[in-house]
Amino acid sequence: MSPALPSYEEAAALVAHYAARLAGLRPSAQSVRLGLAAGRVLAQPLYADRDQPPFARSTRDGFACRAAEASAHGALTLVGATRAGEAPSGPLPPAAAWEIMTGAPVPAGADAVMMIEHVRIEHVKAGGEQVRLLSPRKLKQGENIVAQGAQARQGDELLATGTAIQSSQIALAAACGYSALEVFVRPRVAILTTGDELVPVESEPAPGQIRNSNAPMLAAMVAAAGGEPWVLPSAEDKAEALDHALAQAAEADLLLLSGGVSAGKFDLVEPALARAGARFQFTGVRIQPGKPLVYGELPSGRHASSQSRGEERTLPFFGLPGNPVSSAVTFLLFAAPMLAALAGSLESGPRFALARLSKDSDKHGKPGLTRFLPASCTFSGAVGQLPEVALVPSQGSGDLAALARCNCFLVVPEETSSLEAGAIVRILLS
């Protein structure tokens, strides 16, 4: 263990510091149709265009009435009916009730709705009907009615700039009349895999070669985290090839390299980054997998001319170790939060949760490294019980099959060598 390397927390703080600086440099915005807005980030607050609900709304099928009259259990004359989509034809007279359906506006003068299940309907000789609240049931003022504006007032800010848009935000936007939304332009994330052994998925690997699985994996992770993946051709382990690829990547908002950052003879990524003018923030972290991770900034081709607030924008980069599990873990821990910040999102940071370990973990990793082990967690939602997590058997950080079977990573703190069944543990959600 190199004492000079930052811990996970120290490294994460360095990335968070850069991400916080981005908060002042908003990405540019574009308009997208509401149906295409899922996964994007709001570039403008969302306002209520009218009161929500826009009228006092019944939440039940039943009879609008005055709560005090209904609770006296007298017969109330049925004087009207309103379905959802209609406006009541008039106010509610005294000693009367008004048939009403769920979602319909309540007539003026009514202050409660009796549920249809709670009344007796009586036919009157002269024709017509009366309803009576069944004794001993009482009705409170406001019962089964949502008052106009109870959820929002016209002009209220309902969602802030930077809110991640998913289905429920889309529903709210639709209710407020937005057929399109202003969202931030997705950050363009260059993905540069390196390694002489890699062939694209379409090719048959020759002896000694393997298929490039990191490029499509990272592209999927980038898209899921709100970025626009830009997969560059994989680079050979040669100085000129790397220099050429880095020059191309300068147009990106974030650069992810995979492979070539360990201490091997053909690990040429760090020197190539240095030649391109990199300022390194760290060149290794006390984590496993992912210890060789490098992070820093390059002068950015794209933003060099457009200086923002006197501060030249740089191109942040991560040199992810090539082993697939290392790449996945370091992406989740460091690249995803950076990407969220570049995307203008208010939410960033990896998602951790607590769970109960179902079996002993006797993985004795190297002491002094925070470990992130492929694990599977069951979120049963049983009352009074934490989610149950178990390690997925794995052959190490090259084990793609184990990676594909896990839905989280068990976090083993630096000072811990093994964990016992029943222990409350942290997990990193993937």
Residues in region 251-280 near ligand AMP by CB under 6 A? 258-262, 264, 267
**324 forms part of the interface with ligand AMP (CB under 6 A):** yes
* Minimum gap (Å) between residue 331 Cβ and Mg ion: 17
Residue from 27, 162, 260, 289 in contact with Mg ion (CB under 5 A) = 260
* Minimum gap (Å) between residue 266 Cβ and Mg ion: 6
Give the span between the Cα atoms of 173 and 238, in whole angstroms.
51
For the chain, the farthest-separated pair of C-alpha atoms sits apart, in whole angstroms, at: 101
* Minimum gap (Å) between residue 193 Cβ and Mg ion: 9
**Contact call for residues 380 and 356 (beta carbons, < 8 A):** no
Give the span between the Cα atoms of 396 and 326, in whole angstroms.
10
Instruction: Rank residues 8 and 331 by Cβ distance to Mg ion and give the closer one.
Output: 331
Q: Which of 250, 257, 160, 168 is nearest to 214 (CA)?
A: 257
* Minimum gap (Å) between residue 199 Cβ and ligand AMP: 10
Per-residue x/- marks for Mg ion, 165-204, CB under 5 A?
Answer: ------------------------------x---------
Residue from 259, 290, 316, 321 in contact with Mg ion (CB under 5 A) = 259
Residue from 82, 144, 169, 212 in contact with ligand AMP (CB under 6 A) = 212
Q: Which long-range contacts (CB under 8 A, 24 or more apart) does 96-99 make?
A: 96/65, 97/63, 97/64, 97/65, 97/70, 97/130, 97/131, 98/63, 98/64, 98/65, 99/62, 99/63, 99/64
SS3 157: strand
Q: How many other CB atoms are there within 10 angstroms of residue 250's CB atom? A: 18
Q: Which residue is nearest to ligand AMP (CB)?
A: 322
Q: Which residues pair with 229 in a beta bridge?
A: 189
Residue 210 contact, options Mg ion, ligand AMP, none, Cβ 5-8 Å cut-off depending on partner type: ligand AMP
Residue with the two structure tokens 């210890």: 291
Residues in region 313-352 near Mg ion by CB under 5 A? 322
Residue 62 contact, options ligand AMP, Mg ion, none, Cβ 5-8 Å cut-off depending on partner type: none
Residue from 61, 156, 196, 197 in contact with ligand AMP (CB under 6 A) = 197
| Burial call 387-420: b when 16+ CB within 10 Å, e when fewer | bbbbbbebeebebbebbeebebbbbbebeeeebe
Binding site for ligand AMP (CB under 6 A): 193, 195, 197-198, 210, 212-215, 258-262, 264, 267, 321-324, 398
